[in-house]
Amino acid sequence: MSARTVAIDADRMSLPNALYEDLGSPSTVVLLPVDGQSLWLRRRDPRSRVRRTAHFLLGRGYDVCTAVLKDRTTESATYQLSRVVPTGEFGVANYGEAHFLIPLDSKDEVASREQSWAEIQEYHEHLPIEQQDANAWAVSRWLAGVLAPLGNSFLEIGCGAGRNLRALADVAPSANIAGIDVNESALSLARREVPSATLSASSLYALDDWGGASVDVVFTSGVLVHVPHTEVAGVVREMHRIASNAVVHFELHGPDHPYDYHRYPRDYGALHELLDLDTETTYEVFPRDDFRSMGTGSFWLALLVAVKSQRQF
């Protein structure tokens, strides 16, 4: 078993130490099957009932996994299962108090992640803006209001169908606006919605074509959540290389977990402190009932604004 995966074989489940300790080293945990393949996992609270509502597990008594055995040799913890659940190896995505176990089709975790992304890429091909959620539009307009005073040229990394760029063009019509995205279908919609923007199919891992301090403001919205912990520092540094005035992130906030799979919430304020960048940084986390939380359930969204000390405005 990989140190980053959960293994289920017949009537037993093995958790890597990192996950076991994060759960609080419990003697009993809860497993809730979803769609026949994936699973929800969380520490069992004997006072609560368990049921699935969106991304929450709530309620009383769904006792599945008991009798923990600590295996120092394999650096894992093993639970006895009382019910039949899917078997195999699972990647782990952290959703606050619960964890989502996603079946791995390959022993190669990187290859599995790429395969998973390819399978859901069509789902991520964004709808035309007029068909998107009204709350999302409100958030884009709010974000545009944050961005506009920071400069006259903007680059969105992961612009999708251009909703944020459209809102930015509305409040700053004279600004130079650009965006990149790996999804060609989304870009075709963005070109229609924001014809004045410079758009290109490119990856956030390949920003070499953008010169140093070539854009006033570089920003992301719901993009860095898909960047693994091993890569995010380099990606953020590249954005700071390109930006002359400021870097802005509107992203999913949560604790860092190295065993996450596909979705990586993190504390971007702490990340910027570790990178020791020459910026004046503010970091604001929005509660779940705030319109900017975008209905993300177990997590909050947060806005980071890192303004460079040598800015040009």
CB 219 within 8 A of CB 277: no
Residue 1 domain-assigned (yes or no): no
Residue 177 domain-assigned (yes or no): yes
Q: Do both 83 and 14 map to the same domain?
A: yes
Q: Do both 81 and 221 map to the same domain?
A: no
Position 70 pLDDT exceeds 60: no
Q: Do both 141 and 113 map to the same domain?
A: no
Q: Do both 114 and 160 map to the same domain?
A: no
Q: Do both 151 and 250 map to the same domain?
A: yes
Q: Do both 154 and 200 map to the same domain?
A: yes
Residue 295 domain-assigned (yes or no): yes
The Cα 270–Cα 260 span in angstroms is 18
Q: pLDDT tens for residues 91-128?
A: 887 666 678 787 876 445 555 555 555 544 444 445 66
Q: Do both 144 and 89 map to the same domain?
A: no
Q: Is the pTM of this model over 0.75?
A: no
Q: What's the average model confidence in pLDDT over 200-219?
A: 96
Q: Do both 22 and 144 map to the same domain?
A: no
DSSP letters along 18-57, please?
Answer: HHHHHTTS-S-EEEEEETTTEEEEEE--TTSBEEEETTEE
Higher model confidence: residue 190 or residue 1?
Answer: 190
Q: Do both 152 and 70 map to the same domain?
A: no
Q: Do both 158 and 299 map to the same domain?
A: yes
Last residue of a domain, one of 64, 99, 118: 118
Residue 279 domain-assigned (yes or no): yes
The Cα 51–Cα 117 span in angstroms is 28
The Cα 37–Cα 91 span in angstroms is 12
| pLDDT at residue 157, as a whole number | 98
Last residue of a domain, one of 118, 148, 179: 118
Q: Do both 162 and 266 map to the same domain?
A: yes
Q: pLDDT tens for residues 246-276?
A: 999 999 887 666 666 666 778 899 899 999 9
Residue 123 domain-assigned (yes or no): no
Q: Do both 159 and 66 map to the same domain?
A: no
Residue range(s) defining the domain that contains residue 249:
129-308
3-class secondary structure, 103: strand
3-class secondary structure, 185: helix
Count of the separate structural domains present in the chain: 2
Last residue of a domain, one of 118, 145, 172: 118
Position 47 pLDDT exceeds 70: no
